[in-house]
A and B are shown apart, each in its own frame.
Chain A
């Protein structure tokens, strides 16, 4: 019987019937496909919606990125672009001329903001200092070069040791202090380049704990009072040394709050105001603050909210490190290498804030 079924002629067998069926149900099938296609098309939108979801593992320092306005005692009076790309450090000359170390050069800006002269260097200038007599001391990674007031090289000091990584220069009347973060000490030179001693190295008898430097940020400032201000970022403080290397005072505490130094290692750069107060620059929470000569927190120059806080990936911390200098009138110049601009900050007039 089954065999008989199997021998049905072709036109009545499955082929024809299923085709008609197929054609009839084709609409249904294509409708199904259309629905699947619509789903697939909406896929990206679903993903986009989901992708804006928050990061459950966010590292949140957001509340420290907003500064209480009552602490901000400075206002921006001017802002200009760095004359050269990759600016790194600032220094002020005796007549208030601004020197900018940028890329492989040092530029002196004239009165009107134009470029006075430019010194080409063999490598990036790490830091620089200007003596009262106008001599310009530029530290490359491992040695110091001396230029006269017209930008002519007059001397090249040889590198003290192989590990040297100079990150700060302060020039006094009879000597030069170079902060060597690689050697974890401040090197004291006379004006001819003779190494006279090392300051700030660990010395239990003299009560010096030593610099803790996770990264190449060691700055030195020399004030009129003859004391060196040196930051000790790993210990979150600023230390005051005599020229002979005695530790006179240390202040600062670790906290992300506004009155202390945030993160693992801050401050990174210093400046001194004429009256002995100290300007500190921090990384991580990029902000600039002023402390009294004895180390009490006084006010904020530029809060974290005024700087771009997210350093693009792959950009090294050094390229985002703020630097500041203060002129004789108490104005503070802040270099933001990330934005490539320099801000001029002046104290708000009395009455503007408490």
Chain B
């Protein structure tokens, strides 16, 4: 029959197509598979010349094997930093490690992966079960935190490329006035709160978006952020670590962890001579002078009264802050692309005629038109989540400010010059400033400094006591 003849004619043709098809399949298989979006299975033309179809190249992601290297580098650098700060007490070692971190985590890995941004991934993963958190990100989130709970901010000292960059370019430190330092040190906590709020609602990773240094590491980025990064580097020449102290949200988290750290950075290896040289050496204003407890009640009364007032006011302020935060949820939810689109779609003044040629905006509106019900429902749901995170963020803001005020009202208890556990980034600058350290290293004869003061002079047990354990 005719049909048989037809199929007879077709057979060689289809065989000719078998080979490239097989090749394509093989390549797809070798490449580990690529998700295929099958469309109309219309056959391509038949080439008399036997021209074989090229294959679409699918180069693999570049950072796969690097993930393990990253984790190893992080853990290794953290360990080394702890060793250099607490055992070797070596500023030189810290500088070398900073250089490594700056080159590896900064310029080589281009600021990604980064512990600062990992906070947001963790927040999103906690709030969105469908978000698959990469294991590496989880390690980058908790490893520096756990280390800080024991050994202080050694991550900031020499592992974080952001910190390393600012630390290495600091040439002429200028002291930031205490009031400004205190006021600005609240900002990282607010940034952290905002970052968590936006990440948890799945809206934006603002910590990454406004990171000033990553564009520098990548040597590319938006002009605004490159300028901002340049300004930060410029400021870092004179102000010690402006980003770490006044903006870094992960630094805020590490500061909290370091407050509870088991071991603190000890300036002197022996006893404090109260010479203030370390205070001069610290560019970050992290060294607190001794403040001996006064036992005279009249002096304590106003402070106690203030503390009591603050504690009484706290619940009310928390509620007010939360309420204000929840009211901010409507404007802030616009950061989420879905909400922004839904709002533009619901806008009665939106253009009704699609411009020719279509703009990205009109294309988005066209999409909104097609699936309006789902879009609006999604936007409403996101805004509801924003109300909750607004309450939390508002409360958090008040809490941070009150914690600062309460912290300032609590009487300090120091007998020696000591680094503030939270503020100290373990840069190791103060070690060599201490005459006792120089004596220990044999750079100074023991006779050059006063002998250990007796108990009658009022020095506490801390410095000398903890040294020996």
Interface string of B169-191 (1 = CB under 8 A from A): 00000000011101110110010
On whether A162 and B14 interact (CB within 8 A), knowing A15-B408, A216-B42, the answer reads yes
Show 5 A/B contacts (Cβ-Cβ < 8 Å), sorted by A: A10-B293, A18-B179, A33-B187, A44-B334, A195-B2
6 cross-chain pairs, A with B, having the tightest CB-CB distances, nearest first: A62-B356, A29-B183, A44-B334, A58-B357, A21-B179, A52-B361
Interface string of B23-63 (1 = CB under 8 A from A): 00000000000000001101101000000000000000000
**Residue from the set A6, A14, A216 with the largest chain B CB neighbour count within 10 Å:** A6
Name B13's closest neighbour in chain A (CB-CB).
A163
Q: Does the CB pair A60–B328 fall under 8 Å?
A: no
On whether A58 and B358 interact (CB within 8 A), knowing A162-B10, A162-B14, the answer reads yes
In-complex Cβ contact of B289 among A14, A41, A47, A183 (8 A): A14
Q: What's the interface size class on B, roughly? A: 35 or more
Name A9's closest neighbour in chain B (CB-CB).
B294
Q: Check: B312 CB closer than 8 A to any chain A CB.
A: no
Q: Does the CB pair B182–A18 fall under 8 Å?
A: yes
On whether A15 and B344 interact (CB within 8 A), knowing A29-B184, A44-B335, A59-B357, the answer reads no
Q: Which of chain B's residues have a CB closer than 8 A to the CB of A51? A: 360-361, 364
Q: Check: B429 CB closer than 8 A to any chain A CB.
A: no
Q: Which of chain A's residues have a CB closer than 8 A to the CB of B39? A: 316
Alpha-carbon gap, A195 to B45, bound state (A): 24
Interface string of B270-291 (1 = CB under 8 A from A): 0001111000000000001111
Q: Which of chain A's residues have a CB closer than 8 A to the CB of B43? A: 163, 165, 182
In-complex Cβ contact of B40 among A2, A23, A41, A216 (8 A): A216
| 12 new A-B contacts at CB < 8 Å, known A13-B291, A44-B340, A52-B361 | A9-B294, A10-B292, A10-B411, A25-B179, A28-B183, A44-B331, A48-B340, A53-B361, A165-B43, A215-B40, A312-B366, A316-B39
Name A16's closest neighbour in chain B (CB-CB).
B303
Alpha-carbon gap, A41 to B180, bound state (A): 24
Q: Does the CB pair A43–B335 fall under 8 Å?
A: yes
B41 to chain A, nearest CB (A): 9
Alpha-carbon gap, A21 to B181, bound state (A): 11
Q: Which of chain A's residues have a CB closer than 8 A to the CB of B292? A: 7, 9-10
In-complex Cβ contact of A195 among B3, B358, B364 (8 A): B3
Chain A residues within CB distance 8 Å of chain B: 2-3, 5-7, 9-11, 13-19, 21-26, 28-29, 33, 40-41, 43-45, 47-48, 51-55, 58-62, 65, 158, 160-163, 165, 181-183, 194-196, 212-216, 310, 312, 316-318
Interface set, chain B 97-148, CB cutoff 8 A to A:
none
Interface string of B326-351 (1 = CB under 8 A from A): 00100110110000100010000000
Q: Does the CB pair B7–A161 fall under 8 Å?
A: yes
Name B408's closest neighbour in chain A (CB-CB).
A19
Alpha-carbon gap, A40 to B191, bound state (A): 11
Q: Does the CB pair B6–A160 fall under 8 Å?
A: yes
On whether A41 and B357 interact (CB within 8 A), knowing A9-B292, A9-B294, A18-B178, the answer reads no
**Residue from the set B6, B179, B194, B344 with the largest chain A CB neighbour count within 10 Å:** B179
